[in-house]
Structure 1
Amino acid sequence: PQIKRFMCVCMSLNSNKRVHLFDSFFVGHGMLSPKRPSPYSTVDTERYSSLVKSVMSRVSSQTPITIQDEDDHIYGPIIKTPRLPQALREARGGPLNPSEMSQYSPEVRGYMESVSHVLEDIREVRAIESTVQHDALNYLGIVDCVARYRGVLCAIDWKTSEKSKPFLSNTYDNPIQVAAYAGALNTDVNYKYQVENGLIVVAYKDGSPAHAHKMNSELMSDYWKTWLLRLEDYHEKRSPERSQS
């Protein structure tokens, strides 16, 4: 079943799913088993102490406008693409049979046909549209899916595009976003497992075979470092604004 979205992020994530910083977040932790160390949860405390302190001490409330400003700064301008059909977000892995395909509208069938070969390699789905949070860096996001792709556990992000994106570089900052999700999940006590690999699946409306871009742990670690630097840069630029308010 789909995990319910928290009210504080529903508004910002309804039309555009991004990672967002937040002022305060309270959630009951149900699975408190110790987590083994992960390269994505490691933070250079000396280098990022000012970042953590500034994030943890934030008291200003956020609005859709301020959240959009954060998105524009951290990720760059939004490139509007069709929202991924609900069917893709809820796909649990395995090939789709004709009866399953026929229940979707022609537009959705195009996306489903596009990713059908990818779904054949997805097994053991552990999370779908699940909220993840990083306590130390005080940000949260919603990961599309966590499952095994060709035997390897991955944080999976579904994307749609009208243009072909055969290379990982064509996905712009999406890899950084996936690394941010993995970093949050790997420190979130609600998850008893670790994710060190990522997968970006680009689906096409016309049914063309989707491109699946797999990121190994080394590549994910590089994108995680980029994410930390962007967070640091964001807060350095925000500090003068807060001091003047």
Structure 2
Amino acid sequence: MKPFLTICRLLRSLNRFSTKPSPLASFSTSPCLCGQKKKNSYEAIDQKKYARLVRSVLSRGPVQTPESLFQEDNILYGPVSKHRAPEQQQQGRVPQNWFPIFNEERNVKPHTSASSGPLKIPLQKNVAPSVTRILQQTMTPEQCFFLERWKQRMVLELGEDGFAEYTKSIFLQGQQFHDALESILSLQENLKGTEEHLQCGYIKSVQHILKEISGVQALESAVQHEALKYVGLLDCVAEYQGKLCVIDWKTSEKPKPFIGDTYDNPLQVVAYMGAVNHDAHYSFQVQCGLIVVAYKDGSPAHPHFMDEELCSKYWAKWLLRLEEYTEKQKNQSVPKPD
């Protein structure tokens, strides 16, 4: 009973206070309520000019050297990625002067007898620009940057003389590899006699590819596109898994399992294909391409097959590079005003 009386007294005392909700307190940031804001001495200064001054001061740092830049890059980003950057300038562009890669007037299958041997047409220099020259002269800024950066890193590691010796060694190895392949593929009816070349890691690397090759039609043979005005020296034209291809043999010290890792090699292949299909020295038509990347350590080579659809896509890119090269040559030949 006593607790009940205590509760009743508390309830009577609460009735003395209003139960209506009190209005919410409001706050304002208005200068009128908070008092006059103290003026900042920098308000009278040109803010844009002051911002530029701050940026210029803060941007000044210690003098950088190639060695320090490479060290910072390695710490921040790791090893240099050599994946090809997207060609933003060519996205959405189409060649102004379209020319087909395939020749409707020619048969797909060659009718050259095996006894006549593969074609080996000599290259006529200075007749027209080569495919290699055109691609080198029209590399994207990203390609030029990574190529120059790779060269600088190699020079820092090997020195000028060491780098020159390294490039010479790479060239000789590639030449020996191509000579060995030419010797092997010339024996069309007997590709088993390759034991003498197996000491070469590159030849060992392509053994499983050679088993799929037959019907060799051309080896180290020149091509000329009379309509588009360029020449080239292709490695091989033969059947790979029953399909006639322009075959390009490449060497590499690093794995290249994807066709994107081969940079401009697909453009080189389709340039040779288009020339073969319109060169009077060749009576057949090629509709496919093959890039074979061989490795010095003898590990299995990576074959990158290019079907008709893929070749057509790369052909459009090749025509753009060809137009870019032609435009550069015109601009260089125009005399500059005094």
Whether these two folds match at TM > 0.5 is yes
Matches within 5 A, 1:17-36: 21=129
- What letter corresponds to residue 74 of structure 1 in structure 2? T
Deviations 1:51-93 (A, max 9, x none): xxxxxxxxxxxxxxxx987553235557964414111244326
- What letter corresponds to residue 122 of structure 2 in structure 1? R
Aligned to 1:8: 125
Aligned to 2:181: 88
Stretches of structure 2 lacking an aligned partner (at least 5 in a row): 1-116, 151-166
2:197 is aligned, of 104, 111, 114, to: 104
Matches within 5 A, 1:135-154: 135-154=226-245
Contact 1:94 1:121 in 2 (8 A): no
Contact 1:96 1:116 in 2 (8 A): no
Contact 2:132 2:232 in 1 (8 A): no
Aligned to 1:72: 136
Contact 1:124 1:147 in 2 (8 A): yes
Inter-partner Cα distance in structure 1 for 2:211 and 2:226: 35
2:309 is aligned, of 194, 218, 225, to: 218
Q: CA deviation at 1:5?
A: 2.7
Residues 140, 7 of structure 1: CA spacing in aligned structure 2 closer, same or farther, 3 A cutoff? closer
1:198 is aligned, of 285, 289, 302, to: 289
Q: CA deviation at 1:104?
A: 3.1
Bigger helix share? 2
Contact 2:236 2:247 in 1 (8 A): yes
Q: CA deviation at 1:111?
A: 1.1
Q: CA deviation at 1:189?
A: 1.0
Higher gyration radius (CA): 2
Q: Percent of aligned positions with the same letter in both sequences? A: 46
Residues 94, 112 of structure 1: CA spacing in aligned structure 2 closer, same or farther, 3 A cutoff? farther
Stretches of structure 1 lacking an aligned partner (at least 5 in a row): 10-19, 23-66
Contact 1:196 1:217 in 2 (8 A): yes
TM-score, normalisation: structure 2: 0.50
2:278 is aligned, of 187, 205, 213, to: 187
- What letter corresponds to residue 136 of structure 2 in structure 1? D
> What is the DSSP-based 3-state SS (H/G/I as helix, E as strand, rest coil) of the residue aligned with 2:300?
coil
Residues 95, 174 of structure 1: CA spacing in aligned structure 2 closer, same or farther, 3 A cutoff? farther
- What letter corresponds to residue 120 of structure 2 in structure 1? I
Q: CA deviation at 1:237?
A: 2.1
- Matching of residue 160 in structure 1 with residue 251 in structure 2: yes
Number of equivalences: 187
Whose relative contact order is higher, 1 or 2, with alpha carbons under 8 Å and at least 6 apart? Answer: 1
> What is the DSSP-based 3-state SS (H/G/I as helix, E as strand, rest coil) of the residue aligned with 2:329?
helix
Aligned to 1:130: 221
